[in-house]
């Protein structure tokens, strides 16, 4: 990737007062999502007091409280925000508010027409090709985080889940949710963190043994999301087993019983080779040992192949995965 790719100008800064006015002082009626470390507000109109010509329509205001790490690593700084929009499958950051204190910042993001992926997992109208394209787009975004962000810099997202993926009017996925993202060198073996901040059902099981995360932690979380897309249901915890969903997916794959968890109408659409490549690939993302999981470069290639088979199955004359 050429260096001039990174010359995109900074997204505009907003003052804290701008954000207060837009959200009606962070009113509950504008709040659409909340976790222990972040809140997301939907805003129809946002304008900076410093420039009356700046007007953004239908955006999301993401208030982030960063999670501290136990090592000297960098959280994703505002200086990196312009680099996010270089990738088509990462949310477009259209502005931000400087840090309110040492741990909190506000990102203004472009809202997307179809909302978050978790709301559409069980949709009867979302086809297998659309689902494959969504999965491939997410994998490409994470690969960009890991290896394409900037030379000598790797970003571990740390919070991959279906509610952190927005879908535009063409069902193209846009990854967001950077409150747990950390910057390290691509060869950095482990980033030790004080506590795991993401949702437990997506958590890398190796974290409990190592006390840290790396790029393969994102791969595990992605594997959970991709099985969510295949099964048409959200990951869940049962009987205090935070890996219930991952265990369920692995067991059904190993026993060749995936059809029991796939909607029959969706299953009828699937090319058998496309499903085979997809399920084998995602299964390898959920390996308990990190070194046995695929890296994102191989993951992207495998998903491209699964999509290629499905496209050939539905339209043998013309094939395009881009």
pLDDT digits (tens, 9 = 90+) for 112-146: 999 999 999 999 999 999 999 999 999 999 999 99
What's the total number of domains in the chain? 2
Domain end (from 75, 110, 145): 110
pLDDT digits (tens, 9 = 90+) for 108-120: 888 999 999 999 9
Beta strands in the chain (DSSP E): 13-14, 31-34, 38-47, 55-65, 74-75, 93-97, 104-110, 154-156, 165-167, 173-175, 182-184, 191-192, 212-213
Please give the pLDDT value at position 56: 59
Strands 104-110 and 74-75: unpaired
Res. 265: pLDDT tops 80: yes
Q: Does residue 289 share a domain with residue 142?
A: yes
Strand partners, 95: 108
Residue 191 makes CB contacts below 8 A (sequence gap 6+) with 69, 71, 73, 156, 182, 184, 212, 213, 214
Please give the pLDDT value at position 5: 42
Give dist(CA 14, CA 276) in Å, integer: 48
- Report the CATH number at residue 143: 1.10.510.10
Domain end (from 110, 138, 155): 110
Q: Does residue 140 share a domain with residue 173?
A: yes
Q: Does residue 76 share a domain with residue 130?
A: no
Give Cα separations from 3 to 7, 148, 153, 247 (angstroms).
8, 12, 14, 43
Say what the pTM is. 0.88
Section 283-289 average pLDDT = 97
For residue 295, the tally of other CB atoms under 10 A from its CB is 13
Q: Does residue 172 share a domain with residue 101?
A: no
- Does the residue 222 lie in any domain? yes
pLDDT digits (tens, 9 = 90+) for 54-90: 555 688 888 877 655 555 445 666 656 767 777 899 9
In terms of pLDDT, which residue wins out, 22 or 202?
202
3-state helix, strand and coil shares in percent for the chain, rounded to the nearest 5: 40, 20, 40
In terms of pLDDT, which residue wins out, 1 or 109?
109
- CB distance 222 to 117 below 8 Å: no
DSSP letter string over 199-252?
-GGG--TTHHHHSEE-HHHHHHHHHHHHHHHHHTS----BTTBTTHHHHHHHHH
- Report the CATH number at residue 80: 3.30.200.20
pLDDT confidence band for 202 (50 / 70 / 90)? very high
Domain end (from 110, 134, 156): 110
- Does the residue 3 lie in any domain? no
Give dist(CA 164, CA 299) in Å, integer: 20
pLDDT confidence band for 250 (50 / 70 / 90)? very high
- Does the residue 5 lie in any domain? no
- CB distance 22 to 46 below 8 Å: yes
Task: Give me the domain span that covers residue 52.
Answer: 12-110
Give dist(CA 109, CA 42) in Å, integer: 10
Candidates 91, 208, 195; CA nearest to 138 is: 91
- Does the residue 80 lie in any domain? yes
Section 29-57 average pLDDT = 74
pLDDT digits (tens, 9 = 90+) for 156-173: 999 999 999 999 999 999
Q: What is the DSSP letter of 159?
A: -
């Amino acid at each position: 990737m050429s260096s001039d790719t990174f010359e995109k100008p900074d997204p505009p800064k907003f003052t804290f007062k701008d954000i207060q006015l837009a959200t009606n002082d962070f009113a509950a009626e504008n709040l659409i999502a909340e976790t222990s470390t972040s809140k997301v507000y939907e805003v129809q109109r946002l304008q900076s007091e410093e420039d009356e010509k700046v007007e953004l329509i239908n955006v999301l205001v993401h208030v982030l409280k960063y999670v501290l790490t136990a090592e000297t690593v960098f959280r994703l700084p505002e200086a990196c925000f312009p680099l996010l929009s270089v990738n088509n499958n990462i949310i477009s950051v259209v502005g931000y508010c400087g840090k309110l204190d040492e741990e909190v910042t506000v990102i203004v993001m472009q809202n997307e027409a179809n909302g978050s992926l978790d709301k559409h997992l069980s949709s009867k109208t979302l086809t297998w090709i659309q689902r494959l394209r969504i999965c491939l787009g997410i994998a490409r975004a994470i690969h960009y985080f890991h290896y394409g962000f900037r030379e000598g810099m790797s970003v571990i997202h740390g919070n991959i889940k279906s509610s952190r993926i927005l879908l535009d009017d063409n069902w193209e996925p846009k990854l967001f949710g950077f409150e747990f993202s950390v910057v390290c060198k691509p060869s950095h073996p482990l980033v030790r963190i004080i506590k795991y901040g993401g949702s437990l059902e997506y958590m890398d099981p190796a974290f409990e043994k190592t006390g840290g995360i790396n790029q393969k932690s994102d791969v595990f979380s992605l594997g959970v999301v991709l099985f969510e897309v295949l099964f048409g249901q959200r990951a869940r915890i049962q009987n205090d087993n935070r890996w219930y969903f991952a265990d369920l997916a692995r067991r059904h794959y190993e026993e060749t019983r995936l059809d029991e968890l796939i909607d029959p109408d969706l299953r009828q659409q699937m090319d058998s080779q496309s499903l085979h490549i997809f399920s084998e690939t995602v299964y390898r993302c959920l390996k308990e040992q990190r070194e046995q999981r695929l890296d994102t470069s191989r993951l992207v290639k495998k998903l491209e192949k699964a999509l290629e088979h499905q496209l050939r199955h539905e339209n043998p004359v013309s094939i395009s995965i881009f």
